[in-house]
Structure 1
């Protein structure tokens, strides 16, 4: 009640329901903004979906349905500024219809089920099975790959004009990319271009694999480090381009072009867009390979369109030992666990396992020990676990100063008990954080009271001589309003002898100095901070900026603060804080990355994030005194 559509979420108690009650809840929830539809084309598309302006709500639905083994995708619809959860795979649709259903929309769901059942039981031969296959033959999917008992044996199945080899390997992505490059040049007769974030990755990794494979198989063509030439048309080359040089691919066109981005998570948006602009022909192909480490980049955006995910559970070293549980997580099978886990809870050395437990099929690759150590060290919900183990893009980077999950938790804390957080804030005066834009950036202002962030907003600068005055005026308007706002008036009635005071913290470096001077001249309590100066704890932090941001991070981590609804600025602030990364200097001090890196990641300056960090520093008590040590609000 009382929430905007963007603020809706599913209460924690729902996640604790048994599956029977949870299915009932989801059935009624889909009855509101959900649908089941069949397209009008000759090959009608089918979909079960749910739409909401709240990204958190849609992602919560996705997680709840995983308890039933139902997997769907989440995407953003920019035209209507909303988020959509959709299920399009026939097997998932049938499972949803069987276990969930949509209350009041049974007829529409039945139409979708009918089409899904027809597809699931269809005996038609898919087009891919006969495309380019010799007459009288069809392609088959590789069901499994296993190591032969006698490694000297090789089985070959021969058909006219084609050779298919069953080999004894389970290879790394880079090897796969190397094989594709060689095949594209030598068999397709096309142009293959590869790139990677660093020179070492290009020369030593992907092209190292290409050189080794080319030599081992004695393949044709002239190969020199990162260039393979068979003919003028059939060739390949690899290079490393500048992070922002999208022109690196300019003018590269070929009727049979293959572009491969290796370690794609490290490829910048500019480079990815430059590469995409080349692969536009009907016979052009684009392959991105990498680990889903950093969310929000070009690699994640491409994966949302189409991808093949290979989680660690698919690896033959560990697949035998794990099963997926109702909450969607993979854990050791009950029959396996007591055989390989010791009394201390750690994985026993493989030589202590019973003979019935398989040993690693591929020594040196992923192992059960590594998985369980990662589970214990990082936790199943961590960004590390999501990316390195599950093959999913994490919601956050481990280097985010305030990860998205922490931010959303702070918002949820306020919504769960607004009265509690308002009472927690009574002992404190309002304090504002003002980040002054320099003409290219916006002015931003935050308003804190003790552990509670009441508001944050930004206004664009105009690049004229009045920008500094407007920035100061933004803060003055809020200071004047503090005494007359209904919330402040109510709090003052609770303690009329100590009226609320408002103060401003401004970064006085650069253009902020002018706004700070104007506030002081007009009699407003303004504290000038130079974020480039030494921190109070100079042994741990490089400068005051790192110390202030870290104080905010720790308060979020410890669940000590709450965030009130911020309206249109909420997502922007969340991305500012998640997109600002912290680093360690060579001498072990915490620092905030250079703003140029943050700008590049966000495509803008994190003005709201800076304002919130400035406002949070040095909480002021209602008697006007500062606290120079962190205050625990728990």
Structure 2
């Protein structure tokens, strides 16, 4: 129902009267009242026009284009109580979730509608979904005002983003409205308890839940709601659905923001089409943890979750480097380790010790590393010599440790060699226990993709044997240099290893 013109005309007449009288004391309050009245009556009109037409709302209210999969998400939320969207990288998933939130509040009666959003961390709530909500709100000049994580209309809170404690099933209590929309952004990282809390908000027939994110953890609750037979309406968006790969016509500005064919082809070569990271980031599909997979994807996914608060300083020492020296065309990779945190990476396509050593010296200077562990097989032996000569020239003070992964393990009855021990005790063990933090690791996707590749079995003596590097390279046409450098960075090199939990 549209606003009775007499209501607005009466308030405007009162405003004009105060202007003529010079009564500034009441003028601001009356103007605010006029704006609120206009906004509320206009909202009633939008409910009639756009309530069942979210795509038209985007096109006419925001003057934006939505591509086919985005249209499908908007209409799915309109039609289904619970919608789960597993999505590849660069297809505009959070942008679309923000469109849904804005359409919801712009087309439902004030006081009867509410939007709640959450994500694995508060910084993600604020910096991803609500940043887009602010953009859409500004573009459409929508009712009310939006700050970093809240939407208010006439000083009434109608939407917010929160990150309750993972175990807080009452984290969203106190929301009572007929039209509640809950958005679970980056849904794979949201623990089951918060799904339960979200579900408790959306019990009415006019309520909705939208869960959207990359499918990168097969042990997550997000995976459960995406299984066949789930009561959720399910969607999957692959990079191959992107207009840049299908040829769907979209504006040039949108095309530039979406994933393109070059990136997809690059990741197929770099990660491999069967790799779990490729399946998640490109295909938008979950992968199972393989029984003979050394490092499990579900374990690594937990280690990639960003921390809400900075850890104490003792979690950032020691500072050490792992150096996997390239040979035969492989890349030389240097990985920084700061306590439990995997940090920066330095790389070069060279197998010449006189070129690799200066890169390591640069990494020592930039990181302040006190220990450098170098793969000593082949070319690495010459690099170690160069670094020790530089130490004698007082160009650095770091301890240089030669690591031969082909030698015997410290537990020779359990592991075939030191390589097997490193991959099992560090790659598998630290991932399983949450003993390392990979959330801010440079070149993370490629490194994780390599971590998930090696397979294991047992040798004739019953010892754990990890797939040799040459076999991995033969199978995938690439070498896991980044992952090997990471393991070397965390290797204790004969010293007791502290397990951080």
The two structures have a TM-score, normalised by structure 1, of 0.39
The two structures have a TM-score, normalised by structure 2, of 0.48
Structure having greater relative contact order (Cα 8 Å, sep ≥ 6): 2
